[in-house]
């Protein structure tokens, strides 16, 4: 008997008193594991909404956000703006389009656009001494907006700003010579807290990664980025890689976490950059990801620079998915030649893999546990709730895959 009956057929049955009721189908109780996954997903969605509402509530009237004590307004506005873009809102559409528009207007104001292409508030003390963070994050945010913008006039404004911002980043890069182990001399170049064009040839890993992500976002949006600057930056990261696979703080100053082992947060950021370029099988990203897997405990309490580290490592593991780690580090069958597929692995071998599903469960739960249930913020770390809240919201929304900079 068909599941859907016509009204005429039902009427005929009623007339003769023979309405047949289809036999009820057996109800299969949802597996407890499925129920737990659904609840966890709802908890994550609720956490995201609370966090976004918090950022919405504390946005300044002129459109910016800032860290504790009024610090780093350019970086904070860019990161908070990214959290809203990842939700799906744009300049003209979405639940938080007003917040995105106000943030973009803040960046487009003459006070934030310097003649040399620098983005930021030069009146702010932290912008004067560490403005390259804001330059990188600001370029990433505005390029992400530009990539989604359809209004011709607004696109022209953003394009003009972004071209100058990219030019500023490229001129701010250091230029040094490095001799590789095989004897070949190459140009390397990173970025420091301020521009190398000011006569300061200092560079360090965290700013270098921030600048690289800004350049990558600009390139994704169609803004020209000179290849030589990218090549010098990749050479720089390679030169900063220790034999154990970690990235040191600075090429000139060294600075590994333990001796010359490297620093996990910087290495996680380097992995993110390597994967964003599609480098899953080349030797350098493999060394970085292996180092991170061995040195970054997942979901086991706070560490130094925890938000920064988790922000970048989450992007890297998301790009790995559940299969690429096994492709990068294949396990062989008994013949010693044939790579195993996931179905061939023992339970113990599966536990040794680095997978997004396993990482996500532990990391997301830690993030949810640390959220302030009264106002929706995260306040861990010394920079303040705007930074930590924005970072965590970006992590929790990675799977939405809305912005090219965060896509696999």
> Consecutive sets of 10 residues in the chain, 408 residues long: mean pLDDT of each?
37 35 49 84 98 99 96 98 98 96 97 93 89 97 92 93 98 93 91 90 93 95 96 93 93 59 91 76 90 86 72 94 92 92 90 93 94 96 95 97 89
* Residue 361 near residue 45, CB atoms below 8 Å: no
Q: Which pLDDT score is estimated for 274?
A: 80
Burial class (CB in 10 A: 0-12, 13-18, 19+), 370: middle
Q: Which pLDDT score is estimated for 25?
A: 52
Q: Which pLDDT score is estimated for 369?
A: 95
β-pair partners for 247: 241, 263
* Residue 209 near residue 132, CB atoms below 8 Å: no
Q: What angle do CA 187, 185, 275 make, to 5 degrees?
A: 55
Which of 282, 287, 359 minimizes the C-alpha distance to 319? 359
Distance between CA atoms of residues 56 and 70, nearest Å: 17
The token duo for 61 is 């009237």
Q: Which pLDDT score is estimated for 388?
A: 97
Q: Is 124 helix (H, G, I), strand (E, B) or coil?
A: coil
Q: Give the length of the chain.
A: 408
Q: Which pLDDT score is estimated for 236?
A: 94
Give backbone dihedrals phi and psi of 326, rounded to 5 degrees, phi first.
Answer: -70, -30
Distance between CA atoms of residues 397 and 136, nearest Å: 21
β-pair partners for 178: 186
β-pair partners for 186: 178
CATH fit for domain 57-406, picks 1.10.260.40, 3.50.50.60, 3.30.1600.10, 1.50.10.20: 1.50.10.20
Q: Which pLDDT score is estimated for 300?
A: 59
Identify the residue whose tokens are 């013949």.
335
Q: What is the pTM of this model?
A: 0.89
Q: Which pLDDT score is estimated for 10?
A: 29
Burial 288-298 (b: 16+ CB within 10 A, else e): bbbbbbebbeb
| Residue 234 neighbours by CB distance under 10 Å | 20
């Amino acid at each position: 008997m068909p599941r859907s009956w016509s009204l005429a057929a039902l009427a005929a049955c009623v007339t003769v008193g023979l309405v047949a009721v289809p036999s009820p189908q057996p109800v299969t109780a949802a597996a407890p594991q499925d129920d737990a996954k659904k609840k966890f997903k709802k908890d994550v969605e609720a956490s995201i909404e609370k966090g976004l509402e918090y950022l919405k509530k504390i946005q300044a009237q002129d459109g910016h956000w800032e860290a504790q004590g009024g610090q780093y307004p350019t970086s904070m506005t860019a990161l908070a703006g990214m959290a809203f873009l990842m939700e799906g809102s744009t300049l003209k559409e979405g639940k938080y389009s007003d917040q995105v528009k106000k943030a973009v207007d803040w960046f487009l104001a003459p006070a934030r656009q310097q003649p040399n292409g620098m983005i930021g508030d030069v009146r702010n003390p932290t912008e004067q001494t560490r403005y390259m963070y804001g330059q990188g994050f600001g370029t990433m945010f505005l390029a992400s907006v530009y990539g989604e913008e359809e209004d011709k006039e607004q696109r022209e404004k953003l394009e003009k700003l972004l071209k100058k911002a990219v030019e500023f980043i490229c001129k701010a890069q250091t230029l040094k010579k490095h001799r590789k182990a095989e004897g070949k001399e190459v140009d390397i170049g990173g970025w420091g807290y301020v521009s190398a064009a000011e006569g300061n040839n200092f560079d360090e890993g965290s700013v270098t990664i921030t600048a690289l992500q800004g350049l990558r976002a600009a390139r994704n949006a169609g803004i020209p980025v000179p290849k030589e600057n990218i090549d010098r930056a990749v050479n720089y990261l390679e030169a900063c890689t220790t034999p154990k696979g970690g990235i040191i703080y600075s090429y000139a100053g060294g600075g590994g976490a333990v001796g010359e082992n490297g620093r996990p947060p910087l290495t996680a950021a380097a992995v993110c950059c390597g994967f964003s370029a599609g480098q899953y099988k080349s030797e350098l990203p493999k060394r970085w990801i292996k180092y991170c897997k061995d040195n970054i405990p997942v979901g086991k309490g706070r560490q130094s620079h925890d938000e920064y580290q988790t922000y970048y490592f989450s992007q890297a593991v998301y790009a790995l998915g559940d299969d690429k780690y096994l492709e990068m580090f294949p396990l062989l069958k008994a013949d010693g030649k044939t790579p195993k597929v996931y179905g061939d692995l023992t339970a113990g071998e599966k536990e040794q893999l680095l997978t997004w599903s396993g990482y996500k469960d532990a990391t997301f739960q830690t993030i949810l546990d640390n959220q302030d249930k009264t106002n929706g913020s995260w306040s861990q770390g010394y920079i303040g709730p705007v930074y930590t809240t924005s970072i965590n919201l970006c992590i929790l929304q990675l799977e939405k895959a809305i912005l090219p900079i965060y896509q696999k």
